[in-house]
Amino acid sequence: MKVDVHPTTQYTLECVLCQKENDETKTSTYCTFCADVLSVRYHKTSPAMQVPLKAYQPDPLKHHLSTLTQLPRLSKTYDIDLWAKLEFEHPSGCFKDRGSAIEVQKALELGRDAICLASTGNMAASVAMYASYYNLPCFVFVPEQTSEAKLAQATIYNATILRVQGDFAKCEELCKEFALSGNVYLAGDYVFREEGQKDFSYELLAQGVTDFDAIAIPVGCGTNFAAIYKGYAEMKAAGLVDRIPQLLAIQPEASSPVVEGIFKREKVVKELVQTIATSVAVANPFDFHKVLHAIDETDGKAYTVTENDILDSLREMAVTEGHFTEPACALPLAAMKDHSHEWQGKKVLLVLTGSGLKDTRVVAKHSLTPPVLEPTIEAIQEYVGSGFVEMQKRAWGKARSVVLADVALSDTRDKVFNSYVEAIQQRGKTLQKHEIEALQSIVLQEKEGVPSHLEVLDYAVTMRKEGLVEASVKLRLHGVEVESETKGVGPVDAVLAAIRTHSDTHCKILVKNHEVDILSPQTDSLVVVTLTLEHEGRQIRPKGASSDTLEAVIHAFEKGYSVLAEQLADQKL
Ligand SMILES: *Cc1c(COP(=O)(O)O)cnc(C)c1O
Ligand SMILES: [Zn+2]
């Protein structure tokens, strides 16, 4: 199974708006007359896929076509004949390799010394990979905020990474200027990329299935959408297929200039767009006119989906069919779910553009972090039965408030939780949702039924010279009130030392470490402290929470002490 490719010089670079012919040695990006985008028009039709190269080398890094598969379980659930093309199987984990392989060959043919591009991540990773294979120096302009995985790919492939203060638009502007300053090929969502990416449609032909009613495509710049259309249009012109499926352009509601533009029938440019589907967060979709043309020619449709829909579909695809993708690829399924009545009984192909491993932060951010457990089977079993696990599953893709409302804390835990909240409110602070959630997670991790062996009734710290601090504490220790005073190098150190002058005589505890986590640096309402305590080689990690760091440390120590002292008592029995 392979795609026949025919390299040719019999083509014209034509502007999609003013239709004037452009010279590829002068531009491969924008029309030199009207600044709109260009398209390759071949002079003849061909049964093989034509590429605008003098000589063509089959992609040296790609060893099989991306899988075309049915989605039997989702098809049954939604009563649509759903198929997927697993574009994340490409060597860099994203379909952009189709275009990069051609762009880099074109840069070499034009005798360029280097290649440069601006990217939010996937294209950088992909172009860097082919440039390094062909020994072409590669310069990548990325915004400060770029996914670590995508940056890692560009880095390992030897690209020069230029991390720029500002957003993608700033990177684009600088990159264009950089390209002009030397004999550098400007890569990106431009005309030769489309010639590589149209390969998608030719692959369907090679795989023997082209008769879809529709193809659902996540859209950013619109280049991939335009390329899939162009592939079909050229196959149809050559008599290889008789029909082009309806093409569906899907965008996140929060970033939808293309969909909006389709309804208005004119290009829309946004100031700023933000969505968890970062790969399609494009404010200025420069292939808009090509997308509109493809929509018109195929009786296509444009849909938007919400951020929650994206999260839901992302997980549904992973859980039911096993495909873990990045959030952008959840758009097609989300749109099918929203419009299932419209597509019932139809054969629809979902384009799964990129791998889930490209953006694992999304998963981390939208699920609750599992707590670190004591290494005992009792602790494991208590956690499994604690309700936290269920809360974790429910939390996915839902507004946090919805989740929090139905967490069932036991009565004792509920009391503990309320005492935390009251203490914080007494300090005039208001908790935000993620702070409430953090508190609940702390309460859920607490051991139930441990009597309080240590209670700090009062404490005071006084600053002395050179960072030395004097602390005095009043405790109830195993039911007896005691007081003490000690010096330390900081308030935390001093207070713990003061407590331990007494508590160590009952149960000697080493404080190995303390971590402070401030959940909202702006409002400072909740500080979570995790202590690492050790008693006779046994470690535990109690947590304390308060709007005051020192108080959180004390809470954590009180709890940790009580647990360890209780165990010591059990041993003695
Ligand atoms: C680039 C990209 C898209 C969007 O493609 P456009 O050609 O910009 O419309 C969608 N999904 C992933 C994973 C991408 O990397
Ligand atoms: Zn033009």
pLDDT digits (tens, 9 = 90+) for 421-477: 888 777 777 777 777 777 877 887 777 778 889 999 999 988 887 778 899 999 999
Which residues form the pocket of ligand 1, taking CB atoms under 6 Å from any ligand atom?
A: 94, 96, 122, 189, 218-225, 279-280, 326, 328, 353-354
Provide CATH 3.40.50.1100 ranges for the chain.
Answer: 68-92+194-363, 113-182
Q: What local confidence, expressed as pLDDT, does residue 319 receive? A: 95
CA 197 to ligand 1: nearest atom: 7
- Read off the pLDDT of each residue in 492-508 and give the average, rounded to a whole number: 92
- Interval between CA 15 and ligand 2 midpoint (Å): 4
- Interval between CA 63 and ligand 2 midpoint (Å): 38
Q: Which residue has the higher pLDDT, 274 or 240?
A: 240
To test the ligand 1 pocket, which listed residue (190, 279, 355) has its Cβ within 8 A of the most ligand atoms?
279
72 touches 127 (CB < 8 A): no
Q: Which residue has the higher pLDDT, 366 or 158?
A: 158
Give the model confidence (pLDDT) of 37-57 as tens digits.
Answer: 999 999 999 999 999 999 999
- Read off the pLDDT of each residue in 247-275 and give the average, rounded to a whole number: 94
Residue nearest to atom 1 of ligand 1 (CA): 279
Dist CA 498 CA 461 (whole Å):
10
pLDDT beyond 80 at 520: no
Q: What local confidence, expressed as pLDDT, does residue 82 receive? A: 98
pLDDT beyond 60 at 403: no
CA 227 to ligand 1: nearest atom: 7
pLDDT beyond 80 at 483: yes
Dist CA 420 CA 426 (whole Å):
10
Closest CA to 138 of 147, 195, 119, 146: 119
To test the ligand 1 pocket, which listed residue (150, 190, 291, 353) has its Cβ within 8 A of the most ligand atoms?
353
Q: What local confidence, expressed as pLDDT, does residue 445 receive? A: 73
Q: Which residue has the higher pLDDT, 23 or 520?
A: 23
Closest CA to 335 of 504, 426, 218, 239: 218
Dist CA 260 CA 248 (whole Å):
14
Provide CATH 3.30.160.270 ranges for the chain.
Answer: 454-572
pLDDT beyond 80 at 249: yes
Q: Which residue has the higher pLDDT, 212 or 463?
A: 212
- Interval between CA 223 and ligand 1 midpoint (Å): 8
- Interval between CA 408 and ligand 2 midpoint (Å): 63
- Read off the pLDDT of each residue in 476-504 and give the average, rounded to a whole number: 91
Q: What local confidence, expressed as pLDDT, does residue 346 receive? A: 98
- Read off the pLDDT of each residue in 506-533 and give the average, rounded to a whole number: 85
- Interval between CA 38 and ligand 2 midpoint (Å): 8
- Interval between CA 228 and ligand 1 midpoint (Å): 12
- Interval between CA 249 and ligand 2 midpoint (Å): 25
CA 326 to ligand 1: nearest atom: 13
**Range with lowest mean pLDDT among 118-127, 137-146, 406-415:** 406-415
* Nearest-ligand number for the alpha carbon of 123: 1
Half-sphere exposure of 555 (CA within 13 A, CB side): 24
To test the ligand 1 pocket, which listed residue (97, 280, 350, 357) has its Cβ within 8 A of the most ligand atoms?
280
Instruction: Quote the longest CA-to-CA distance of the chain.
Output: 96
- Alpha helices, H only, 252-287: 257-264
Closest CA to 410 of 377, 443, 368: 443
**Range with lowest mean pLDDT among 121-125, 175-179, 434-438:** 434-438
Residue 448's SS3 state is coil
**Range with lowest mean pLDDT among 3-7, 134-138, 462-466:** 462-466
- Interval between CA 201 and ligand 2 midpoint (Å): 27
- Read off the pLDDT of each residue in 62-86 and give the average, rounded to a whole number: 98
Residue environment code for 26-38, b if the CB has 16+ CB neighbours within 10 A, otherwise e? eebbbbeeeebbb
The band of 402, judged by pLDDT with boundaries at 50, 70 and 90, is: very low
Residue nearest to atom 2 of ligand 1 (CA): 279
* Nearest-ligand number for the alpha carbon of 17: 2
In CATH, what number does 454-572 get? Answer: 3.30.160.270
Residue nearest to atom 5 of ligand 1 (CA): 220
Closest CA to 542 of 550, 551, 552: 552
393 touches 367 (CB < 8 A): no
CA 354 to ligand 1: nearest atom: 13
Dist CA 374 CA 328 (whole Å):
38
Amino acid at 196: G
Q: Which residue has the higher pLDDT, 573 or 125?
A: 125
CA 226 to ligand 1: nearest atom: 7
Closest CA to 216 of 340, 40, 76, 398: 340
Give the model confidence (pLDDT) of 278-333 as tens digits.
Answer: 899 989 998 999 999 999 999 999 999 999 899 999 999 999 999 999 999 999 99
* Nearest-ligand number for the alpha carbon of 122: 1
CA 223 to ligand 1: nearest atom: 7
Fold of 113-182: Rossmann fold (3.40.50)
In CATH, what number does 68-92+194-363 get? Answer: 3.40.50.1100
Residue nearest to atom 13 of ligand 1 (CA): 354
Q: What local confidence, expressed as pLDDT, does residue 450 receive? A: 84
Q: What local confidence, expressed as pLDDT, does residue 432 receive? A: 76
- Read off the pLDDT of each residue in 335-346 and give the average, rounded to a whole number: 97
Q: What local confidence, expressed as pLDDT, does residue 369 receive? A: 63
User: pLDDT above 90 covers what percent of the chain?
Assistant: 64
Tell me the whole-structure pTM to 2 decimals: 0.76
* Nearest-ligand number for the alpha carbon of 18: 2
Closest CA to 300 of 246, 337, 242: 246
